[in-house]
Amino acid sequence: MQEIRCGNCHKKLGVGTFQQLNMKCPRCKTMNNLRATSTPPACPSASNLKDAQECQITKSTDHR
Ligand SMILES: [Zn+2]
């Protein structure tokens, strides 16, 4: 779980888990586009978790 806060006024909007979230702050009306930083970027071609994991393995072994 992580805190979701407004990027402008830092009002706490909620807690939870998310990968991407668009939330409008009720106080300052700022549109927050949030992305979980702890989650590695998913492979664009991966359609499920297994593909995404294999994609990341491929990426890491291909690192130069
Ligand atoms: Zn705000």
pTM (predicted TM-score): 0.52
Written as six digits, the tokens of 46 are 């991966």
Q: How far is ligand 1, taken at its centre, from the CA of residue 3, in Å?
A: 14
CA of 16 relative to ligand 1 center, distance in Å: 18
**Confidence class for position 42, pLDDT limits 50, 70, 90:** low
Closest CA to 8 of 18, 16, 26: 26
Contacts of residue 45, Cβ cutoff 8 Å, sequence gap at least 6: 51, 55
Q: Which of 16-20, 22-26, 32-36, 49-53 has the highest mean pLDDT?
A: 22-26
Whole-number Å distance, alpha carbon 17 to ligand 1 midpoint, is 20
What is the model's pLDDT at position 43?
66
In this predicted structure, the answer to whether residue 53 has a pLDDT above a threshold of 80 is no
From the CA of 24, how far away is ligand 1's center (Å)? Answer: 8
Residues in the chain: 64
Q: How far is the CA of 55 from the centre of ligand 1 (A)?
A: 37
